[in-house]
Chains A and B, each alone.
Chain A
Amino acid sequence: MNQLRSFILKEFRHIFRDVRTMLILLVLPVVMVLLFGYVITTEVKDIRMVVVDFSHDDVTQQLCERFSSNHYFHLVGSADNVSQATHMLENGEADVVMVLAENFAQQLGHSREASVQLLIDGSEPNQASARTAYAQQVLTSIAQEFSATLGIEPQFQIIPVTHALFNPHLRSEYNFVPGNMGMILLLICAMMTSVSIVREKEMGTMEVLLASPLPPLVIIIAKLIPYLVISIINLVTILILSKYLLGLPFAGSLPAFMGISMIYLIVSLALGLLISTLVRTQLAAMILSLLLIVPTIYFSGMTFPIESMPTLYQHVASLIPARWYVSAVRKLMIQGVEVQHVMHETAILAIMAVVLVSVSLATFKKRL
């Protein structure tokens, strides 16, 4: 126990004494969130909306007014039919089309639930998802307002049905936060762990450690724990930043989110450990870790939607841990689903964790 503690202390000293490592570990995640946050907040201003109103009654009138008074939106016109509005989207004259059905007010009155169709220019997924989210927020607040003035419980619900044109599988959520989490955690766990283990090989200190009575398992655990701790700090930082800076609501269960994040962290750490057993130089460890990150960017669903990939690519994607993590985080954070809806992802990640941990433990050499 004493051995483990002093080893972990040593690891933290290495980290704190190296400015570069510190920057990568603690500043990079913040910078990435801020960078994306900046892109989002500047791009979602002045959302040009076209309304296709088939009701033309007081309710839809009020609804339109709410949108035009919201400073994120301005109405650039109305259309008589959907194809005309779509045409405006195609020509780049509008960003969002809202279609209000003939019986909107009736539906709302009867079932307290009515749907609104949103057509969105989906060519830029991040922008599109941000715009959708803003429209969604406006609609929700309108529904609350209606219920409040009429004193109705339970509240009205206006459900947006979103169709992204040009990129039909775009999901209506902030893509980048879950994707970024998947990537940053992988980067820190896999790259930093493997580099820190391989550095000992390169410096010759591993030779002394192995020739000492220190059990290899202690070496491994002591190497993993600091990065686990730092990853958790990063996780919390990203959550706080995205809630208070980007205004991204955290809809789901926090314990469930932390739980699945822990499994993902273990998978990433095991990957780092595995890399460290395969290479001899820090440079090689770094390159191999980057090779892990590239497919993560392409196949995790953070840049390209999995559903629209060819079947072969979908199979490839299912081998990428981040693909399951990102999917689970999206469901938990943004859609706010219950835990049972992410059991599939959790189970797959758990299996990956078990396999990777056993393989990397088995390959970790107790000799040179």
Chain B
Amino acid sequence: MIVSVHNLKKRYRRVQALREVSFDVNEGEIFGLIGPDGAGKTTLFRILATLLLPDGGTASVDWLDVVRDYKAIRRRIGYMPGRFSLYQDLTVEENLQFFATTFGTTIQENYHLIKDIYQHIERFKTRKAGQLSGGMKQKLALSCALIHAPRVLFLDEPTTGVDPVSRKEFWEMLHHLQHDYGITIVVSTPYMDEAMKCDRIALMQDGQFLQIDTPQAIIAGYERNLWSVSSDHMHQLLGHLRQWPQATSVFSFGVTYHVTVSPDADANRLRNFLAQKGHQHIDINPISASIEDAFMALSTTRQG
């Protein structure tokens, strides 16, 4: 287990940021921490990057203890914090150069690792980092985190606030790194759709893990009956669906509503119920869940 965490706890003055979380990451795996802001993802990353001391529990990275062997760990990891953390007043090249030297290496030595990523921004290498767009900044930050050929990459919300195209590109880069160089990647994201791009994920909320598994297994484990419902009056439909006694939850999902219903629910009865309320073009389909459905189901059970 290249990353191993047991019963990790951390409390800030007001908030319990981590409540005894445990997980393992296999070598060469992309492991995703999926959860909203405030779930405790950043705290977890900071402990793994040896920047914070846990209140309880243990954690190891590359078989080294995060508290005792912090110096050795710092040599072996690449860490990209949540906010853009490069020098805005230095150019693209100066930033990369600086971080290469900081890690006791040169750009040339590990250029092959960052080549695919750096190529996108190389023509802007004399531009100051502060003047790059979100997607570019993120590529530069990833290049800087990679330049010393780390064993493990910790990426804290690298795609937050980044548009879908740049996000897609970014994930392609991560898969390359995993595939070509066997780098282990622990990555967090608030975007549920990105969970599917990970080998295994932990769904996280309020400092706890709701579930750890492959995304496929998490979806397969979704036990409720889920229907996708739409009609010609979508605004009103929401309220009407909530009035239907056998609907346990109703959430909007793009063009339709995802409705969880009790096991004995009958689609025709819902159709009649909605028709009585004046809906037309009613469309009801049983569907399989997405990660987002699973997350919402898990987080409501936890809260309830």
Contacts and interface: CB of A to CB of B under 8 A. Distances in A.
A contacting B, Cβ–Cβ less than 8 Å: yes
Interface of A: 2-3, 5-7, 10, 13-14, 17-18, 203-205, 207-214, 366-368
Contact of B74 (A6, A7, A18, A211): A211
A205 B71 CA distance: 18
* A interface secondary structure, majority: helix
B75 to A, nearest CB: 4
B104 A10 contact: no
Nearest to A10: B98
Contacts of B1: none
B85 A207 contact: yes
A205 B46 CA distance: 14
Contacts of A10: 87, 90, 94, 98
Nearest to A208: B85
A58 B71 CA distance: 84
B79 interface: yes
Interface stretch (B49-57, B173-181, B295-303): B49-57
In the complex, the 5 A-B pairs of residues with the closest C-beta atoms, listed nearest first: A204-B85, A6-B101, A211-B79, A368-B51, A211-B49
B45 to A, nearest CB: 10
29 contacts: A2-B101, A3-B104, A6-B97, A6-B101, A7-B102, A10-B87, A14-B87, A14-B90, A17-B89, A18-B89, A203-B85, A203-B88, A204-B82, A205-B85, A205-B87, A207-B46, A207-B49, A208-B85, A208-B99, A209-B102, A211-B49, A211-B74, A366-B70, A367-B51, A367-B52, A367-B70, A368-B46, A368-B51, A368-B52
Interface in B10-62: 46, 49-53
Contacts of A204: 81-85
A367 B88 contact: no
B124 interface: no
B187 to A, nearest CB: 16
B86 A213 contact: no
B146 to A, nearest CB: 13
Given A208-B85, A210-B51, 13 more contacts: A2-B101, A3-B101, A6-B98, A13-B90, A14-B90, A17-B89, A18-B89, A207-B46, A207-B85, A208-B86, A211-B51, A212-B102, A366-B70
Question: How many B residues are at the interface, by size bracket?
Answer: 20 to 34
Nearest to A204: B85
B94 A213 contact: no
Contacts of A368: 46, 51-52
A244 B53 CA distance: 57
A56 to B, nearest CB: 73
A22 to B, nearest CB: 12
B90 A207 contact: no
Contacts of A205: 85-87
B77 interface: yes
B135 to A, nearest CB: 18
B273 interface: no
A7 B94 CA distance: 11
B251 interface: no
A207 B51 contact: yes
A26 B104 CA distance: 33
Contacts of A366: 70
B171 interface: no
Contacts of B222: none
Q: Which has the most chain A C-beta neighbours within 10 Å: B51, B53, B70, B102?
A: B102
B141 to A, nearest CB: 9
B103 interface: yes
